[in-house]
């Protein structure tokens, strides 16, 4: 239903290459889908993303769908999604990835899909979190609740101690936090993000979620840098 509605509102041309979509194609044409380098992480638990977090945080499962290369097709897609308002790309990736993740035993008991919150300043500039559409389509397809209120990012101004010529300058930073109640105890949280590089943001977010008693964490990203 959701897919059908999206098709009504968005012109039926490929969001990546602009060629006309066939009736069985959704947002990204078959040719572009073939050009996207897939990681197949979901077929191997001890994959590159999972091992990135060894000794850092305990995870049930971790994966990225695509490889992100500079000047490659994935970079172009993510750029359109993040900076050009093409949120339908996030939906397409979510529905596509859900078909693969459906068979993943490690995440079959996930209770909540949690997006990495965007820095409040970025959210104000961009007007949307680029991960939302991805998360909502995963939620729709896998029938898992989407929750963007448990994990938050709050803003604070840090006054620098060193005095510059212009006097004290303040730097706007942000910090992650969690808000939860008993209802969220002993749950499995699937943390989602767009592109994973060092994993430090996801590590910080996981640490917050692990403050919830009995929390289990898994991570799913659209892409990873190689």
Tell me how far, at minimum, the Cβ of 11 lies from Zn ion, in Å.
13
Q: Cβ 204 to Zn ion, closest distance in Å?
A: 35
Pick between residue 16 and residue 57 the one whose CB is nearest to Zn ion.
Answer: 16
Rounded CA-CA distance 114/193 in Å is 9
CB of 224 to Zn ion, least distance (A): 22
Whichever of 21 and 118 has its CB closer to Zn ion, that residue is 21
- Give the nearer residue to Zn ion in terms of CB position, either 14 or 217: 14
Residue ranges that bind Zn ion, judged by CB under 5 A: 14, 16-17, 29, 32
| CB closer to Zn ion, 28 vs 116 | 28
Q: How far is the CB of 35 from Zn ion (least distance, A)?
A: 8
């Amino acid at each position: 239903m959701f897919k059908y509605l999206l098709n009504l509102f968005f012109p039926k041309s490929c969001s990546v290459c602009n060629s006309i979509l066939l009736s069985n194609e959704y947002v990204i044409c078959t040719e572009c889908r073939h050009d996207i380098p897939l990681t197949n992480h979901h077929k191997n638990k001890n994959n590159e993303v999972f091992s990135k977090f060894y000794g850092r945080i305990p995870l049930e499962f971790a994966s990225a769908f695509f490889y992100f290369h500079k000047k490659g097709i994935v970079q172009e897609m993510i750029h359109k999604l993040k900076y050009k308002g093409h949120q339908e790309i996030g939906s397409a990736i979510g529905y596509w990835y859900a078909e693969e993740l459906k068979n993943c035993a490690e995440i079959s008991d996930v209770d909540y899909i949690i997006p990495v919150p965007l820095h409040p300043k970025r959210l104000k500039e961009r007007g949307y979190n680029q991960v939302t559409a991805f998360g909502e389509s995963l939620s729709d397809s896998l029938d898992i609740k989407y929750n963007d209120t448990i994990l938050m990012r709050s803003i604070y101004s840090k006054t620098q101690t060193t005095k510059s010529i212009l006097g004290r300058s303040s730097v706007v930073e942000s910090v992650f936090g969690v808000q939860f109640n008993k209802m969220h105890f002993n749950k499995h949280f699937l943390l989602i993000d767009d592109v994973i590089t060092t994993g430090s943001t996801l590590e910080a977010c996981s640490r917050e979620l692990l403050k919830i008693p009995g929390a289990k964490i898994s991570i799913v990203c659209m892409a990873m840098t190689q």
